[in-house]
Structure 1
């Protein structure tokens, strides 16, 4: 992490206690099998570098084998999804769900 990044003020954050309560509530939901998704840095970097992207939207899905998926798309300044393969605006498929990619030492686990 760069020195400048570490000095920036974080926004839209919550406390560990709030995150733990939300995670616990999710796990108590019938059918909730995924605890988290590991998102590789390269995917976030590529997504944020797409033309016109100012935000990111996440979609949740289930593939043909029943595995939970987290799909991310770029969003423009007007709140519109930017999905156009011909223009380099892709849907990113983050397919590394936890279980299998969990940090079992995390206070959120």
Structure 2
């Protein structure tokens, strides 16, 4: 199966809010979001042959909290593990946009 650069789907703000609300209802004390600087995202996307990204759920045992791991994906759907991989985003509630309609306390 080919990994398309257009894989994924744009959704409305209302649908995004529904997803976030459902997540927060299931995990009321959990991490709400992760924020990353554009440089890391661009570094992954700028790798030769990169068609997109894959985001893995992870858990940082040192800090006893969830995290995510971001890796590039090539046109064959293979993780580009020889390239840039990143995590260490800033978690919300540590840093949140409380004015965003996606932020639900």
TM beyond 0.5 = yes
Q: Which residue of 2 aligns with 1:22?
A: 19
Provide closer, same or farther for how the CA distance between residues 29 and 90 of structure 1 changes in structure 2, counting only shifts above 3 A: same
Provide closer, same or farther for how the CA distance between residues 55 and 39 of structure 1 changes in structure 2, counting only shifts above 3 A: same
Normalised to the residue count of structure 2, the TM-score between the two structures is 0.82
**Structure 1 unmatched runs, 5+:** 1-10
Runs of 4+ in structure 1 over 4 Å off: none
Question: How many residues were matched structurally?
Answer: 95
RMSD over aligned Cα atoms: 1.6
- Residue 49 (structure 2) pairs with residue 55 (structure 1): no
Normalised to the residue count of structure 1, the TM-score between the two structures is 0.79
Quick one: distance in 2 between partners of 1:83 and 1:33?
28
Q: Which has the larger radius of gyration?
A: 1
1:43-75 deviation line (CA, Å, top 9, x unaligned): 111111112211100011111221221110000
Quick one: distance in 2 between partners of 1:52 and 1:17?
34
Question: How far is 1:30 from its partner?
Answer: 3.8
Q: 3-state SS of the aligned residue for 1:82? A: coil
**Structure 2 unmatched runs, 5+:** 1-7
Q: Which residue of 2 aligns with 1:100?
A: 94
- The structure with the greater share of residues assigned to helix is 1
